Amino acid sequence: MDGFEYNMKSFDDIATLYHHFIESSKFSYAARSWLGDPKFVSNATQIARNITSKEWAEWVRSKITDKTHPDAYYGGSFEAPPQDHGTTHVSIVDALGNAVSVTSTINL
């Protein structure tokens, strides 16, 4: 947000300030899909360095306009997780140690 050069007068246009913040947050949220445990994502450390650099911040700032954009504009993966069709498991144990459990699954 530094590159937008906000000052006290900027707060007169609070809607623009919020818009810039929200748009920059969308890029950050998209970038999180590239990260992971370095044991499993070979370039996670390099990605973390890149997305915390001034160059990346400048690139993000250059992409922010006065409009919002489709999800793909921000990069990353915005796919919804697969819909759960419903599995439930309940286990009950009483004071005497008696136990019962049941699993119910809807296979669609």
Domain assignment present for 81: no
Domain assignment present for 100: no
Q: What is the pTM of this model?
A: 0.61
Domain assignment present for 108: no
Is pLDDT of 5 > 80? no
Domain assignment present for 94: no
Q: Count how many domains the chain has.
A: 1
Q: Is residue 106 annotated as involved in ligand binding?
A: yes
Is pLDDT of 98 > 90? yes
Q: Is residue 45 annotated as involved in ligand binding?
A: no
Burial of 17 per CB tally in 10 Å (0-12, 13-18, 19+):
middle
Task: Cite the beta strand spans of 1-108 per DSSP E.
Answer: 87-93, 99-105
Domain assignment present for 93: no
pLDDT of residue 82: 66
Q: Which of these, 5, 22, 14, lies nearest to 68 by C-alpha position?
A: 22
Q: Which residue has the higher pLDDT, 66 or 100?
A: 100
Q: Is residue 107 annotated as involved in ligand binding?
A: yes
Is pLDDT of 81 > 70? no
Gap between the terminal Cα atoms of the chain: 47
pLDDT of residue 80: 62
Domain assignment present for 99: no
Which pLDDT tens digit goes with each residue over 20-78? 999 999 999 888 888 888 888 889 999 999 999 999 999 999 999 989 999 889 987 65
Catalytic (active site) residue 88: no
Which is catalytic among the residues 45, 65, 87, 88? 87
Residue 56, domain extent = 2-74
Q: Which residue has the higher pLDDT, 86 or 98?
A: 98
pLDDT of residue 22: 92
- CATH of residue 65: 1.10.246.130
Residue in the block written with tokens 């001034």: 54
